[in-house]
Amino acid sequence: MAVPAISVEQLTRVYSSRKGFLFNEVTRTEALRGVDLEVAPGELFGLLGPNGAGKTTLAKILSTLLLPTSGRAHVLGLDVVREANRIRPRIGLVLGGERGLYYRVSGRENLRYFADLYGIARSEREPRITEMLERVGLGDSGDRRVEEYSRGMKQKLHLARGLLHAPELLFLDEPTIGLDPKSARETRKFVRALLAEGVTIFLTTHYMFEAEELCQRIAVLSKGKIVATDTVPGLRRLVGGDRTFEIDGYGFEDSELARVRALPGVSRLVTEEFGPRLRITLRVQDPQLELDRVAQCLLGHPELEVRERRTALEDIYLDLVEEEPA
């Protein structure tokens, strides 16, 4: 049986801070609260969660940048606390945003610096740098100063840096945040190519479509806890199936909502206000339930709109996060 690329058991991380006039009040913030997860070698595993959910904290612990408060975490079979020095040469980390680069020198010179940090032999350094610049689409821009790069180009340089030493496991923390659609698409294409080469990828993001497009399995993190882990089809089954109905209209009565909720196969009903209009969203398990039957429960609403669509990962995410207890 293959050793998991990542194995986490009851991991916690607590941040302490002092406040008050004499800084004698200590506050504790639980960023992670008993996280369990496992990632297989060669898998592209996604971690979803809102800002502040603990995604970056978990990624930093797994990449040996931050110590856990309690629990256990192993990366490539090695303990992140006791064997961090053995882990670091075998992993890569790519953070979203523009920090972590040296702006007054060229992209190539940035990679030379990091190649020396990674311990890449001088005889291999220049060919490897040229190869990585070409792979990320910076072959013609490698000798320009990074301060002249667009945000998308900087993110490509981050990718080149993270892959320079050919890591077995790559951590991608919000890799497309702030990128224009073309650059984000190119980044996702590059990630798929890495997966095909056998690189294990741990992706943190809050972009639902990106996770659905790329990830083989997904964990949803909310308030420091994993609330679900599965494939996208498995997560759809968890929240009530592939089918989602949306009903838009005015002036729905509580009795009407109760009739809709009681229809066979309706596993969840959520209402949202859009100005004077109300939207009813239904998660539907029964393949026999038709839109007409739903509309019959809401007679007398002349501007009623009823439609069906496939349950999206965003629906699943909102269902799971909303149901997570405080």
Is there a contact between 5 and 217 (Cβ–Cβ < 8 Å)?
no
DSSP reduced 3-state for 295: helix
Kindly indicate the confidence band of residue 326, based on its pLDDT and cuts at 50, 70 and 90.
very low
- Supply the range of the domain harboring residue 205: 6-235
**Element holding 44 (H helix, E strand):** strand 44-48
Domain count, the chain: 2
- Which pLDDT value is given to residue 247? 95
Residue 35 located in a structural domain = yes
The CA angle 105-109-111, to the nearest 5 degrees, is 125
Q: Is the pLDDT confidence value at 23 over 80?
A: no
pLDDT of residue 205: 85
- CB-based burial of residue 315 (10 Å sphere; 0-12 exposed, 13-18 middle, 19+ buried)? buried
DSSP letter at 121 equals: -
- 325 assigned to some structural domain: no
- Nearest-angstrom CA–CA distance, 221 and 53: 6
Within-domain flag for 266: yes
- Tokens 């800084």 — which residue? 23
Q: For residues 10 and 131, state if they share a domain.
A: yes
Asked if 105 and 205 sit in the same domain, the reply is: yes
CA distance 170 to 91: 6
pLDDT at 21: 64
pLDDT on residue 20: 65
- Is 39 buried (19+), middle (13-18) or exposed (0-12) by CB count in 10 A? buried
CB 244 within 8 A of CB 305: no
CATH of the domain at 139: 3.40.50.300
Tokens describing residue 72: 């256990």
Give one DSSP letter per residue of 175-234, joined into a string: TTTT--HHHHHHHHHHHHHHHHTT-EEEEEES-HHHHHHH-SEEEEEETTEEEEEE-HHH
The DSSP code sequence of 32-49 is EEEEEEEE-TT-EEEEE-
Residues 201 and 272 in one domain: no
| 113 and 191 share one domain | yes
221-265 per-position pLDDT tens digit: 999 999 999 999 999 888 877 899 999 999 899 999 999 999 998
Within a domain: 319: no
CATH number, position 271: 3.30.70.100
